[in-house]
Amino acid sequence: MRLQLPAAVNMIIDVLQAHGYEGFAVGGCVRDSVLNRTPDDWDITTSATPYQVKELFSKTVDTGLQHGTVTVMVHGVGYEVTTYRIDGEYEDGRHPKEVQFTSNLTEDLKRRDFTINAMAYSKDRGLIDEFGGMNDLQRKIIRCVGDPWQRFGEDALRILRAVRFAAQLGFEIEENTKKAIVELAPTLSKISAERIQTETVKLLMSDRPEMWRSVYDLGITRIIMPEFDAIMETPQNTPHHMYNVGEHTLKALSLTEKDRILRLTMLLHDIGKEAVSGDLDDMDAPLIVEEIQYVRLHAQASYEILKKEGYKETILLAVRHHHENYDGSGYPDNLSGEAIPLGARIIRVCDVYAALTSDRPYRQAFESQSAVQLMIEEIKDFDVKVFLAFQRMIHKNKEKEITLWH
């Protein structure tokens, strides 16, 4: 197999080899190249030590010498070059106690998280695949290198990364890897909120944000976002909803534009419904007027919950006002027009469409075209510009489905 590496990457590998060292592109950049995806960055692994790398290149940055990494600068762009290494015992679920440099590429590859990320490539040696990464790419499988319990024990964030890669690539998680995730999910409590947020955002910004459902199914949200577990167990009994709050959220999330703030807002917009629905006597019976008014408090409840957690004002206001109608007939503050935050106006359109295209106790889900027509009949509820943009997105997605089908 021949892969096209950037000229700068080939140059770095050529310099390493010319001085008697091995050098390969490695990890995600190789995986993405095989899949004809554009890599976000290019990493290089080598038998040269960090100090030997620094001697070979005029412009370098000491990125992490203790872990073997030097960044080589080429025309203002940085390329991380890391020495083959064997990691010692992990004591904190993230960092090895010690790192030992090695001249053996296989030893370096076996410490990596998943088989699809444990391949190396150079134009002279071709593809190095010691752990079945190519086979797993072809089978669309996320599988740990070696023992998944050991891999997740080394860095618990890999648990969430497994789902994130599945969402980004449209892959399934291999069964043994999945068992280890379920068992070791509680160890995510050792991981900083910042690292968890980074992986969460990457998953939500994938083409399959609804795969957040897998984060729930595997017991991960119980550790990193227990509020989501609560809404997955919160029923809804209104003319607009049949599924529980969590299922509705997942469907609406799949309809939301690929924007970080919007998708985070959609994930969190009904987080307060559990707090208000718990006080209703019978969620299986039709709600009376007083109960409907009580349930409407969920927007404010969601706002208060997220405010305590320190979420940004942009998300807070979009959550609080996602039931406002453009003509001022919504709640909780009867805002109208552009006084309603843009994020809330967008969430409103996606939320209603998700409700219309879902089954109800009294009717089946509407087809997309019928749902759009019903929304047009109630256009006073929506920002017309937002609605038209959403309509274009729906048509574009349908055309894409037809193209893929044929």
Examine the domain organization and report whether 236 and 363 are in the same domain: yes
Alpha-carbon distance values, 176 to 172, 183, 331 (Å): 12, 11, 47
Examine the domain organization and report whether 192 and 238 are in the same domain: no
pLDDT attached to residue 218: 97
335 in any annotated domain:
yes
Q: Is the pLDDT of residue 289 over 70?
A: no
Element (H, E) at 230: helix 226-232
- Is 136 strand, coil or helix? helix
Tell me the percentage of the chain whose pLDDT exceeds 90: 64
Residue 277 in contact with residue 234, Cβ under 8 Å?
yes
pLDDT attached to residue 404: 33
pLDDT band at 284 (very low <50, low <70, confident <90, very high): very low
pLDDT attached to residue 294: 45
Tell me the percentage of the chain whose pLDDT exceeds 70: 88
pLDDT attached to residue 236: 62
Examine the domain organization and report whether 207 and 59 are in the same domain: no
pLDDT band at 401 (very low <50, low <70, confident <90, very high): very low
2 in any annotated domain:
no
CATH label of the domain that carries residue 388:
1.10.3210.10
d(CA 134, CA 312): 41
pLDDT attached to residue 335: 93
d(CA 277, CA 295): 6
Examine the domain organization and report whether 260 and 281 are in the same domain: yes
Examine the domain organization and report whether 97 and 120 are in the same domain: yes
Examine the domain organization and report whether 70 and 18 are in the same domain: yes
Examine the domain organization and report whether 271 and 207 are in the same domain: no
Q: Report which of residues 18 and 305 the model is more confident about.
A: 18
Number of domains in the chain: 3
**84-93, 144-153, 250-259: segment of lowest average pLDDT:** 84-93
pLDDT attached to residue 362: 60
Q: Report which of residues 382 and 355 the model is more confident about.
A: 382
Examine the domain organization and report whether 274 and 364 are in the same domain: yes
d(CA 25, CA 126): 10
Write down the pTM of the prediction. Answer: 0.81
pLDDT attached to residue 121: 98
Residue 317 in contact with residue 347, Cβ under 8 Å?
no
Give the range of the structural domain holding residue 109, as residue numbers without chain letter: 7-132
What would the mean pLDDT of 265-288 be, rounded to a whole number?
64
Alpha-carbon distance values, 68 to 22, 128, 204 (Å): 15, 21, 32
Q: Which of 161, 190, 224 is the last residue of a domain?
A: 224
Residue 128 in contact with residue 156, Cβ under 8 Å?
no
What would the mean pLDDT of 348-363 be, rounded to a whole number?
81
Say if residue 16 is exposed, middle or buried (CB neighbours under 10 Å; 0-12, 13-18, 19+).
buried
pLDDT attached to residue 257: 87
Examine the domain organization and report whether 262 and 336 are in the same domain: yes
Q: Is the pLDDT of residue 221 over 70?
A: yes
Examine the domain organization and report whether 382 and 359 are in the same domain: yes
Q: Is the pLDDT of residue 245 over 70?
A: yes
Q: Token pair 């039709």 is at which residue? A: 286
The 8-class DSSP code of residue 55 comes to H
Examine the domain organization and report whether 39 and 64 are in the same domain: yes
Residue 50 in contact with residue 69, Cβ under 8 Å?
yes
CATH label of the domain that carries residue 68:
3.30.460.10
pLDDT band at 300 (very low <50, low <70, confident <90, very high): confident
Q: Is the pLDDT of residue 290 over 50?
A: no
Q: Which of 181, 209, 224 is the last residue of a domain?
A: 224
Say if residue 14 is exposed, middle or buried (CB neighbours under 10 Å; 0-12, 13-18, 19+).
middle
| 159-198 confidence digits (pLDDT tens) | 999 999 999 999 999 999 999 999 999 999 999 999 999 9
118 in any annotated domain:
yes
Q: Report which of residues 243 and 172 the model is more confident about.
A: 172
Q: Is the pLDDT of residue 286 over 60?
A: no
Q: Is the pLDDT of residue 8 over 70?
A: yes
Give yes or no for a cis peptide into 361 (omega within 30° of 0).
no
Q: Which of 203, 224, 245 is the last residue of a domain?
A: 224
Examine the domain organization and report whether 381 and 395 are in the same domain: yes
What would the mean pLDDT of 132-152 be, rounded to a whole number?
97
CATH label of the domain that carries residue 152:
1.10.110.30
Q: Is the pLDDT of residue 282 over 50?
A: no
pLDDT attached to residue 97: 75
1 in any annotated domain:
no
Alpha-carbon distance values, 178 to 81, 181, 217, 346 (Å): 32, 5, 10, 35
Q: Is the pLDDT of residue 283 over 50?
A: no
pLDDT band at 288 (very low <50, low <70, confident <90, very high): very low
